[in-house]
Amino acid sequence: MDRKRIEWLFFIIFLLIDIYLGIEIWRSPISLSDTSGSTATSIRAEMRADGIDIPLHISHKQQSGYYLAVKNRDYLSRKSSSLTQVTTHYSKSDNSLTGTPKSLILLSGNRKKNLQQLEDFKNDPKNVPYGKEFKFEPSMSGDNTYCYVQNTDYGRIYDSDAQLTINVRDNQIVNYTISYMGPINAVREPQLIISAWHAVKAMYTDREIVNNSRVMQVSLGYSKLTDVRGSTILLPTWLIQVENKTTKNITVKRVNAFTAQILQGSSYNVNVQKN
């Protein structure tokens, strides 16, 4: 009698196990199609837990951006003759021009006023070629270097080939170095790009933001992608400035604004600015 009871017990237990396993097998291929819709958790909360601060009002709005192209030409060497107030040296290897003022240009010492004086200096075509097309970029500037980037109808270009750096020492303009890409055109009509928040999130999920750091600024600009058929192609990128809370080092990283991929090897450190 006991043996029979044990057999019944085994029979029922294994029957229930079979039913359970059968249901699991039947369910598994169907439920897979819904994985993308499962419960969301807050990435913001995860970032907070990792000691990462992000700006309060970071935009979630999608904007549009272009693929841009510029013909690879030498725009600077032929400009030397019109630069009557500076002595120039053109470097063919990196397509840049260095200008040293012929007369002493004194700056006031106050950073705000210095900026205005430098603005007047660079906008004068006798000093700097294409100077009006360059805009001041504080994140790339230091105590004695004032950095400007080429500005276009589509946005700013962040590349060493589209940059003006004015060097200052003892409140005097020492010299400047300029590289210029030339007139920029859109290759195709604009496309939707990811939001600033999406770019930060992509950086975080790719583990490009270290714990205990602060996202200081997120801005949109254009970066060089490749050279093809005698043209340089540029694409929209989110430039994300991250400060390490411990070391106070600031790093700028770039995220492809079309694909949300990190542009490897394009990050650079920022000199901390002292006023």
Partner 1 sequence: MKSKFKLGDALLLIGTLAVFGLSIVLWIFIMTNDQYFNHISQTNRVTEQTRSRRDRIVSNLYIPTNSYGFKNGQLYRLYDAKKNLPLEFVKEVKGVKYRNIKKISTDKKEYEEMLHDSECIQLSFPKEVSINLFTKKNVKKGDPKFRRVFITNSNDFLYLGNDKTYTIYRINLIKGNFNKLRSYASNARGKIPVEFMRLKNCYEVFFTKQDHWRIYSYLTNTQTDSYFVSRLLGTTNVTTRSNKKGWVTYSLNYYTNLRVPKAKTDRHDFHYTRYEKHKDKTLNDQLLESVSFVHKLGLSEQDLRYFDTTDNSISYANYVEGIPVFWDNSSPQVVTSFTEDAVKVDFNNTDLQIPIPFDGQTKTLPSSATVMQRLVNAGMRKEEIQRIIVAFGVEKDNSHDHLVNLVPGYYVKAYNQWKSLAEWEKVDFLSLNKYKQAIMEEGK
Tell me whether residue 4 or residue 92 sits nearer to partner 1 (CB atom). Answer: 4
**Do residues 260 and 202 lie in contact, with contact meaning Cβ atoms separated by under 8 Å?**
yes
Binding site for partner 1 (CB under 8 A): 4, 7-8, 10-11, 14-15, 17-18, 21-22, 24-25, 28-33, 35-43, 46, 62, 64, 67, 69, 185-192, 194, 198, 201, 205, 225-226, 228-229, 231, 233, 258-259
Nearest approach in angstroms of CB 216 to partner 1 is 23
Query: Least distance from C-beta 128 to partner 1, angstroms?
Result: 28
- Closer residue to partner 1, CB minimum distance, 4 or 248: 4
In the bound state with partner 1, the residue whose beta carbon lies nearer, of 99 and 236, is 236
CB of 136 to partner 1, least distance (A): 26
**Which two tokens mark 162?**
């589209």
Nearer to partner 1, 119 or 161 (CB): 161
Nearest CB to partner 1, comparing residues 52 and 164: 52
Minimum CB–partner distance for residue 182 and partner 1 (Å): 13
Q: From the CB of 8, what's the least distance to partner 1, in Å?
A: 7
Instruction: Give the nearer residue to partner 1 in terms of CB position, either 226 or 247.
Output: 226
Q: How far is the CB of 57 from partner 1 (least distance, A)?
A: 17
